[in-house]
Each structure stands twice: as C-alpha cells, then as structure tokens.
Structure 1
Amino acid sequence: MSTDRSVVLAQALKQLRARWPWFFGVGIVLLLLGAIAMIYVVGATLASVVFIASLMILGGVAQLIHAWGIRPWANFLLWSVTGALYVVAGVFALINPIAGAALLTLLLGGSLIAMGALRLWLWFQNRSQVGWQWLALSGLFSLVAGLLIAAGWPTNSLYILGMLLSIDLLFQGWALLWVGIALRRAYKMRP
C-alpha cells in the first residue's frame, strides 16, 4: 500500500516539475499586479470594494432564492432578512464605494482587535504549554494592527484595503516564483 502511494506521489511530482513555467509565470504576473496595486493603492481599494460588493449582492440573491425555495420552513424569515441585508449592503457599497471602504476598513480593524484579544486570552489560559508564546506573539500583532487601523479610521479607509491587497499579491507572487524556480531545478535534475 505504501509503495502504491510512493508511485502515485512520484508521478504527481514528475508532472508538477514539468509545469514549473506556470508557477514562474503566475508568480511574475502576481508580482506585477501587486506592484500596480501598491502604486495605485486607492484604485486597488475601490476595486476591492466593488468586488466584495458584487459578491455580497450575489450571495444575498442566492440566500433569497434559498429562502423562497423553502418557504414552509421555520427559518424562512431569517433567511429572507439575511439575504435582503446582503443585497442592500452590496448595493450601498457599489453606489458609494468610499463609504463601503470605510465600513470594510472599520470591520477589518474590529476583527483584528477581536482576534488578537482572543489569541492573547487563549495564550494566557494555556501559557504553560510549550510553544504557546507564538500564539501570544500572533495575538499581539493582530491586536496592534487592529488598533492602528482603528486609530487611523476613517482617514486610512482609502488605502488600507488596497495596501493589504497589494501586499498579499506580492507575497503570493514571490512564493509562486520561488516554487517555480525550485521546480525548474528539480526538473533539470530529474532522473
């Protein structure tokens, strides 16, 4: 059984090594998009808001269809209200993306504060465990990031989401670029 797995794994690795240019190419594209988003950070923020608003509208419509499809069910009203709120919030963000960016930035800051506080509390409850100091460090970083976002709100709303998008694209791009390089080296050294 383990030999079957090793054969399957070897075949998968062989196929993956042969596709190293895709990883390399997508890495370059993501790096370029991240650089563009960093240069046009306000545009990246507004594009993020429009994208999120569109998803909220689609999700709200799906919830409304679901609610109306199961009408005899006891939670029909809950599904309907939730779907309607998603649609209204999405339309609001599409009509006024600057206000949508402010609201999303505030929600992001609040979420980071809450997650940071939760991680610190979990660390405090389990601080005698080996390795739990990493949870404390993670919680501290999240809490400080959330407080910095909240302290600069609403002024920072026009660039925080775009900056985070650009940083994410840059990190993903570098990661895929280096995976592509590693796969290329493995492809050249293949048996």
Structure 2
Amino acid sequence: MTLTPDITDTFKERAGELRAKWGWFVALGILMLIVGGVALGNLLIATVASVYLVGIMMLMAGGFEIVHAFGVKTWSGFFGWLLGGLLYAIAGIVAFINPLLAAGVLTLLLAASLIAAGVVRAWIGFKHWNEKGAGWIIAAAIITALAGIVIGIGWPVNSVWVLGMFLAIDMIFQGWASIALGLALKSGAKL
C-alpha cells in the first residue's frame, strides 16, 4: 500500500475539473481575440500600453529592491541594492514620462534579443544536425534572427508600432489557443 495517490488518478481528476470549465476557456479566447484585434487596429496605443506595463513592473521591482536594501546588514550591500532599486524605479518613471523614448529603447532591445536568440538557436540546431527536426530548429532560428534584423533596420521609426504589434499578435494567438483548448475539453479529447 502506498501513501501517495496514483499520478494517473490525479491527472484524470484535474482533467475532469478543466472539462467542466471549457466555456470559460472559449470565453477568454474570444475576449483575447477582440482585444488583440483592437490592439492591432491601433498599434500606437498598444505600444504605449505595453510600455506602461513594463514601467509598472520596473517601478514595483525598484520598490522591492529599495525595501530590500534596508534589510541588508552591510553598507556595500545596502548601496548596491539601493542603487539597483533606484535605477529600476527611474526607468519605470521614464516609461511613464516619455513612453515613446521607452518604446524606442525597448524596441532596440527586442531587436538585439531576437538576433541573439536566433543565432543561439541556429548554433544549437547545427550542433544537433544529425537528429530529426534539427532543420526545423535552424529554419525557426533564421526567421527569428531575420525578424530582429528587420526590426533593427527600421529602428527608431518603427518603435511606435512594433511593441504594439507583438502584443496584438500574441493576444490573438493566445485567444485562438484558448478557444481550441476549450473546444477540445468540451469534446473530451485527450490533452
């Protein structure tokens, strides 16, 4: 006799709970499709909204680091955490004072991140060239790096719409995924 429940039984219970909520997944998906469509219709507002969201997160992180600094027992640790927290808070404030400047910086960082991610993924794909699916990894890596290059070439002009476009596309894809999951739960398909 074991004291731990069978993992299969636990999974089946969770799947049953999710099946009962299938309509919520579909409703969330429809809502995300609508909001994503609205964001796609006005990319400047979607960009500013995404910058404000990042600004809020930076302000919160900065506040937590400043509070944490006062809990550190050494002066060098105190000043390090305090400086880090102040820099985060200042960056968050800049996002609110000048969202277009912040959008420009974030767009440039996005371009650099996509290029770096594409290069790393391509390297991983080539490293595993003999394995099945490596070509797909390399193809996706090239597309990722090219997206970063295109964004970088268009910078800073494209800074007013790129972040909003990414936000809108993400919401649309998440909406479709949520609808698909809800309908699969309704039909009783295996997840």
State the TM-score, normalized to the length of structure 2. 0.90
- Which of 83, 105, 108 in structure 2 is aligned with 1:106? 108
Q: Secondary structure at the match of 1:12?
A: helix
Q: 1:131 aligns with which of 127, 130, 133?
A: 133
Question: Alpha-carbon deviations, 1:39-68, whole Å to 9, x = none?
Answer: 111101001101111110110111111122
The 4+ residue runs of structure 1 with deviation greater than 6 A are none
Q: How does 1:28-177 map to 2 (within 5 A)?
A: 28-72=30-74, 74-177=76-179
Corresponding residue for 2:9?
Answer: 7
For 2:177 and 2:70, the matched residues in 1 are separated by 44
CA distance in 1, matches of 2:157, 2:99: 14
- The alignment of Structure 1 onto Structure 2 pairs a total of residues equal to 187
Letter aligned with residue 151 of structure 2: I
1:69 positional shift? 1.2
Counterpart of 1:98, as a letter, is: L
| Whole-angstrom CA distance in 1 between matches of 2:73 and 2:96 | 30
The aligned counterpart of 2:25 is 23
* From 182, 185, 190, the counterpart of 1:183: 185
Query: What's the C-alpha RMSD, in Å, of the aligned pairs?
Result: 2.0
Describe the SS at the equivalent of 1:69.
coil
Give % identity.
Answer: 39
Distance 2:14 2:127 in 1: 43
Q: Which moved more, 1:125-134 or 1:168-177?
A: 125-134
Distance in 2 (alpha carbons) for counterparts of 1:76 and 1:24: 49
Would you say the 8 A contact 2:126–2:134 is kept in 1?
no
Gaps of 5+ in 1: none
Per-residue deviation, residues 151-182 of structure 1 (Å, max 9, x unmatched): 00011001100010000000000011111112
2:70 and 2:94 map into 1 onto residues whose CA distance is: 23
The one-letter code of the counterpart of 2:37 is A
Moved more, 72-81 or 151-160: 72-81
- CA apart distance, 1:74: 4.8
Change (3 A) 1:4 1:119: closer
Alpha-carbon distance in 2 for matches of 1:74, 1:11: 52
Give the gaps of 5 or more residues in structure 2.
Answer: none
Q: Is the alpha carbon distance of 1:87 and 1:3 closer, same or farther for their aligned partners in structure 2, counting shifts above 3 Å? A: closer
Question: Structure 1's 5 and 156: CA in aligned 2 closer, same or farther, altered over 3 A?
Answer: same
**For the structure 1 residues 18 and 111, does the alpha-carbon distance in structure 2 shift closer, same or farther, using more than 3 Å as the test?**
same
Q: Output one character per residue of 1:109-134: Cα deviation in whole Å (capped at 9) or x when no partner.
A: 01111111222233334434443223
